[in-house]
Amino acid sequence: MKKIIPVSEVANLKRPKYFPLKKGKIEIVPVQLEELDPILDKYFKVVFPSMASTSPAKLSKKQKANRESLFAEYRKLHWECFFFKYEGKIVGWFMGEMDDNKTFYMRNTGILPKFQGKKIYSLFFPRFLEYLEEIGYERVSSHHSPNNGQIFHLKLKYGFMIVGSETHEVYGQLIKMIKIFDKKQNEAFIKRYC
């Protein structure tokens, strides 16, 4: 019988061809999901100060236990996590996971304000898209605040399209973007819907 390799294993085999990635003072390093926790605890509010104000109140013990249980299941998906380093210091992160059987979801990226605009994301992003396509994904999705002009500029530049919006109870208004790797499918989409 033909052996089917799950995408997480394909990713582990292919990732070393793309990452770690180093250019000048910038380094993009793959990490495990749990390695992000202390960095997110320390820096999330620094990068996303407005989000702190809409976060829910402190969780009860029961809510906390439920979340841990749900996350224990969710983390079994294919995840990709990276640290962005500048002169050896961690100055940002990326995290994302499988969204469905064709789509990778770019969940969150953050770079400390002092290190934004240094082309860290410009180094990471095109390489990451190449990698996702090679390991088999057909689409990439993401959500962004409508006021985040910089990220729209970047995503549109690399062929993402705006396909919808939602209002989230924590993150507020979000614009959905996708990129379709297959050229013909992308053209068909544009012809039909844009």
Ligand X SMILES: CC(C)(COP(=O)(O)OP(=O)(O)OC[C@H]1O[C@@H](n2cnc3c(N)ncnc32)[C@H](O)[C@@H]1OP(=O)(O)O)[C@@H](O)C(=O)NCCC(=O)NCCS
Q: Which residues bind ligand X (CB under 6 A)?
A: 47, 108-111, 116-122, 144, 148-151, 153-154
- Nearer of residues 46 and 70 to ligand X, judged by Cβ: 46
- Nearer of residues 20 and 117 to ligand X, judged by Cβ: 117
Residue type, 138: E
CB of 51 to ligand X, least distance (A): 10
CB of 120 to ligand X, least distance (A): 4
- Nearer of residues 31 and 47 to ligand X, judged by Cβ: 47
- Nearer of residues 109 and 181 to ligand X, judged by Cβ: 109
CB of 149 to ligand X, least distance (A): 6
Per DSSP, the residues of the chain read -PPPPPHHHHHHHHHHHH-SEEETTEEEEEE-HHHHHHHHHHHHHHH-HHHHTTSPPPPPHHHHHHHHHHHHHHTTS-EEEEEEEETTEEEEEEEEEE-SSSEEEEEEEEE-GGGTTSSHHHHHHHHHHHHHHHTT-SEEEEEE-TT-HHHHHHHHHTT-EEEEEEEETTTEEEEEEEEE-SHHHHHHHHHHH-
Q: Among candidates 145, 77, 135, which has minimal Cα distance to 108?
A: 145
CB of 42 to ligand X, least distance (A): 15
- Nearer of residues 10 and 162 to ligand X, judged by Cβ: 162
Look-up of token digits 């549109």: 156
CB of 128 to ligand X, least distance (A): 12
